[in-house]
A and B are shown apart, each in its own frame.
Chain A
Amino acid sequence: GAGVSQSPSNKVTEKGKDVELRCDPISGHTALYWYRQSLGQGLEFLIYFQGNSAPDKSGLPSDRFSAERTGGSVSTLTIQRTQQEDSAVYLCASSLRGTTWGNTQYFGPGTRLTVL
């Protein structure tokens, strides 16, 4: 079946512009995560959505970052007034609802954001 998809695959923007990144999770997956991968670094958690619950925004680096998830499916990560340090690959992952041991997170291909 279809995996997690993200769009665009690449985004080049100018400093100060706003950008929107989209994630389509696997159908039926109720949990959705956004991570950021900076050059040569591991993945850094940004935000978590589970069903209709309030999202866990504890990983967002600043108030310029926000995300929403409409209808429990598609999610959009918005970065306002982009800075050069925002340049990174933004990865989305989805999983089934948590159980005692948790569920596997499946990642999309990512969006490479370059801020000039």
Chain B
Amino acid sequence: GENVEQHPSTLSVQEGDSAVIKCTYSDSASNYFPWYKQELGKGPQLIIDIRSNVGEKKDQRIAVTLNKTAKHFSLHITETQPEDSAVYFCAARLSNFGNEKLTFGTGTRLTIIP
């Protein structure tokens, strides 16, 4: 089955700097890669996703890049703000009209230092 590895497990950056979180996946058939943000006591919230037919996607301060050949994808947050502090999870999914279960990485705890 699919296996997703995520690094780093913790990340601290100065407010205003950029943060990068990286994930690798094992199943080359996976074609959808979402990123979720989880704040304390809440469920994961989708912040951005990318499908395998594109290499990059941006949404304001957040971007995701995908390298299908190397089977890795990354989350980039620019101009970080204190409210970006949370745990971020990457995931991979094979969409096959059936069970679209997500396989998650183990999470990155991002701390923005004011």
Could you tell me which A residues sit within 8 Å of B by CB distance? 4, 31, 33, 35, 40-45, 48, 50, 56, 58-59, 91, 95, 98-110
19 contacts between A and B (CB under 8 A): A33-B102, A42-B106, A43-B89, A45-B101, A56-B98, A56-B99, A91-B44, A98-B97, A98-B98, A99-B95, A102-B31, A102-B32, A103-B100, A104-B46, A104-B49, A105-B100, A106-B46, A110-B42, A110-B43
Of B4, B51, B99, B104, most buried by chain A (CB within 10 Å of CB) is: B99
Q: Inter-chain contact count A-B, CB under 8 Å?
A: 76
In the complex, how many residues of chain B place their beta carbon closer than 8 angstroms to a beta carbon of chain A?
A: 30
Query: Which residues on the B side are within 8 Å of A91 (C-beta)?
Result: 43-44
Query: Which residues on the B side are within 8 Å of A40 (C-beta)?
Result: 106-107
Query: Which residues on the B side are within 8 Å of A4 (C-beta)?
Result: 43
User: Once bound together, how far apart are the Cα atoms of A59 and B99, in whole Å?
Assistant: 11
> Which of A56, A101, A106 contacts B51, CB < 8 Å?
A101
- A42-B89, A98-B96, A109-B41 known; 10 new pairs, CB 8 Å cut-off, are A40-B106, A43-B91, A104-B34, A105-B34, A105-B102, A106-B46, A107-B36, A108-B43, A110-B42, A110-B43
User: Once bound together, how far apart are the Cα atoms of A108 and B38, in whole Å?
Assistant: 11
What is the chain A residue whose CB lies nearest that of B43?
Answer: A107
Could you tell me which B residues sit within 8 Å of A by CB distance? 4, 6, 31-32, 34, 36, 41-46, 49, 51, 89, 91, 93, 95-107
What is the chain B residue whose CB lies nearest that of A89?
Answer: B43
Closest CB pairs A-B (n = 5): A102-B95, A107-B43, A42-B104, A45-B101, A42-B106
User: Once bound together, how far apart are the Cα atoms of A2 and B42, in whole Å?
Assistant: 15
